Amino acid sequence: MDDIEQYRADRLSFLPTAWSDLVERGWDAREQPLDFVIVSGDAYVDHPSFAAAVIGRVLEAAGYRVGIIAQPDWRSPDEFRRLGRPRLGFLVSAGNVDSMVANYTVSGKPRRHDAYSPGGTGGRRPDRATLVYCTRIREAFKNVDIVIGGIEASLRRLAHYDYWSDRMRRSIVLDSKADLLVYGMGETPILEIAAALAEGRRAAELTTVAGTVRRCRADDLPAVEAAAAELGRAVVELPDWDSLADANGGKRAYAGSFRQQHRNTDSINGDVLVERYGPALVVHNPAATPRGGAELDAVYELPYTRTFHPDYIDSGGVPAIEEVRFSLVSSRGCFGGCSFCALSFHQGRCVTARSGASLESEARALTELPGFKGYIHDVGGPTANFRRPSCTQQLANGVCKDKQCLHPKACGNLEVDHSDYLDVLRRLRGLPGVKKVFVRSGVRYDYALLDSGSPFIRELTEHHVSGRLKVAPEHISPHALAAMGKPGVEVYERFEREFRRANEQIGEKQFLVPYFISSHPGTTLSDAIALAEYFRDHGGTPEQVQDFYPTPGTLATCMYYTETDPRTGARVTVPKSAREKAMQRALLQFRDPKNRALVREALVTAGRTDLIGTGPKCLVGPDPRPRGRPQPVVGKRRPPTRRRSSTHR
């Protein structure tokens, strides 16, 4: 009980969340209001893996007074008045996860669990949270500046396909009526914005901040072009909204638009993008320069409490903290190029890393935390073994616009080196109080194999695996893997052999846990059957199977909607019906008795009845039911059941 009472007393170590927090600090918020109020769709967890905490602490360190309104009741504007009217503006985010992904499964069913909410209870954030929060703020305070950010705003910053409504939607900067949008990792842009607001400027007037998107009048285009020319950038005009929303040519227009968006994510060579919406124009500035080295160290060395706010004690805390409580973020950015991942669109392809000294200092702090038992759960980032740019050329010229670093094969300029990452891992596992340092955030195995002669795979296996190592081959079909941007199955099999050899050398018996995706664009029913046959011949049943979830900002989602590869213009086969998606997923786990009927249906549909029977090559036995008995029917995907709100759009 004493510990809990102390925890309650320690709420002043957090950023203020209630008017009473301001009073206890001795702040007269009526005479001198907070500079910024952050509104977040997540519960408040003061940890560097949670964006609201990072932005709040970065602003606090720069001398601004910041409060947080976490998961407000969106049904009225009252909750948004909790901390008063901020002097400089509101900063709004749906949270660490897109609110529609947080609220619905891929089949459209409402989720009951939300790891970013107190007690893991679902339903604590509205659908399209960024739009709803902005609407309520406008009701609560007239003429206040609103800057939106976070993953939801970042990936919807331009016109995009929306899976949940099955149509194109406008840039979120228009629909939210925000004054400015920050995309990507927002520390640098938000400090520049804060300084300008403190000088008396308005957010809508900030036209040159890197990593931002704004709206203006279409007749302001000459000024946009002049500003871009001063920066040495071109202006690329994307297809306008009328073209994108057109029932006939809209998909073709969107494929072209997304290709340009995908080509211009780099801070060095990205151009200014513009989208016309009748009399309005959305202007997308090039990305902010990624933070690395000392700048990145400084972000993670701020005085986070590294736990959830005391208000959530009675609810049992916030489950999402458990995954990261004893983990270290070592890098940002990813040049892996997976089609189904939005990292390149959000964080960018240029990898930056923290210093070994900073990681060692944070690890020492972890050993002092309550509940630490000697295990650092992860040291990584988007891809654990990426700790440097893919080549030195991109530091001067930016990443290649029309080439990937690893796909379809490794670029000749790729510089592969695990020495720095190995040095970090060795330093951490040698710290007093540290028993084991795990790597769980994902290893790009094709990159590891390219580092010939390196002890990385051996040391990873010996020191940093807890019996099972998660890897992501995703599929085995060549054209499915081509659509995914993943290496061929022969590369995975080679890594499998190397991992087995390393285990034999150290006298251990550890296992790979492979991840697979079903129903990805470019994957046919025949591909799913080929994958099932692969499991049949190699043994095992995949534990980790994910139905492809079309979310904004990914190349694969563009393929899903347009049925075209925007990079090449080639047609792509896309499984869209709920029946085919269910059959593909069932084939990946064909040994599960509850999947037998669907597996038979898939094999009959594909003309592969040779795989039905009792022979050694068969995937499933014959149907034991009498002929004529109705087969189970998998219906079409239903649209999500919306939570009622007057602010839904």
Per residue in 285-340, pLDDT tens?
999 999 999 999 999 999 999 999 999 999 999 999 999 999 999 999 999 999 99
pTM for the model: 0.93
Question: CB under 8 Å to 465, separation ≥6 — which residues?
Answer: 438, 439, 510
Domain with CATH 3.40.50.280 in the chain: 2-209
For residue 265, pLDDT beyond 60: yes
- The mean pLDDT value for 492-519 works out to 94
For residue 442, pLDDT beyond 90: no
pLDDT in tens, 233-248: 999 999 999 999 998 8
The secondary element (H helix, E strand) that includes residue 566 is none
Q: What is the mean pLDDT of the chain?
A: 93
pLDDT in tens, 538-548: 876 777 788 99
State the Cα–Cα distance between residues 110 and 112, nearest whole angstrom: 6
Coil, strand or helix at 352: strand
Domain with CATH 3.30.750.200 in the chain: 467-624
For residue 466, pLDDT beyond 90: no
The widest CA-to-CA distance across the chain, in whole angstroms, is 82
The CATH fold of domain 326-445: Transcription Regulator spoIIAA (3.30.750)
- Higher per-residue confidence, 453 vs 67: 67
Q: How confident is the model at residue 504 (pLDDT cuts 50, 70, 90)?
A: very high
Q: Phi, psi at residue 103, to the nearest 5°?
A: -95, -20
Rounded (5°) CA angle 419-420-426: 85
Domain with CATH 3.30.750.210 in the chain: 326-445
pLDDT given for residue 535 in this prediction? 92
pLDDT given for residue 629 in this prediction? 53
State the Cα–Cα distance between residues 102 and 143, nearest whole angstrom: 31
Percent of the chain with pLDDT over 70: 95
What CATH class does 467-624 carry?
A: alpha beta
pLDDT given for residue 29 in this prediction? 77
Question: Which pairs with CB-CB distance under 8 Å and at least 24 residues apart come from 398-402?
Answer: 398/266, 398/267, 398/268, 398/269, 398/270, 398/350, 399/265, 399/266, 399/268, 399/269, 399/335, 399/348, 399/349, 399/350, 401/263, 401/264, 401/266, 401/269, 402/263, 402/567
For residue 281, pLDDT beyond 70: yes
pLDDT given for residue 630 in this prediction? 54
pLDDT given for residue 10 in this prediction? 79
pLDDT in tens, 534-586: 999 987 677 778 899 999 999 999 999 999 999 999 999 999 999 999 999 99
Check: CB of residue 365 under 8 Å from CB of residue 359.
no
pLDDT given for residue 420 in this prediction? 96
For helices 596-605 and 578-588, the axis angle rounded to 10 degrees is: 110
Q: How confident is the model at residue 642 (pLDDT cuts 50, 70, 90)?
A: very low
pLDDT given for residue 537 in this prediction? 93
pLDDT in tens, 99-111: 999 999 999 999 9
Q: How confident is the model at residue 356 (pLDDT cuts 50, 70, 90)?
A: very high
For residue 9, pLDDT beyond 70: no
State the Cα–Cα distance between residues 106 and 320, nearest whole angstrom: 20
CA dist 279 → 5, 206, 221, 229, 242 (Å): 58, 20, 11, 23, 12
What CATH number should be reported for the domain whose range is 2-209? 3.40.50.280
Q: How confident is the model at residue 232 (pLDDT cuts 50, 70, 90)?
A: confident
pLDDT given for residue 636 in this prediction? 47
Both structure tokens of 85:
């009217």
pLDDT given for residue 36 in this prediction? 98
| Least confident stretch, 111-125, 299-313, 614-628 | 614-628
pLDDT given for residue 479 in this prediction? 87
Smallest Cα–Cα separation from 62: which of 286, 229, 302, 233? Answer: 302
Q: How big is the chain by its Cα radius of gyration, in Å?
A: 25
DSSP 137-191: HHHHSTT--EEEEHHHHHHTSSSEEETTTTEEE--HHHHT--SEEE-SS-HHHHH
Both structure tokens of 398:
């930016």
For residue 645, pLDDT beyond 70: no
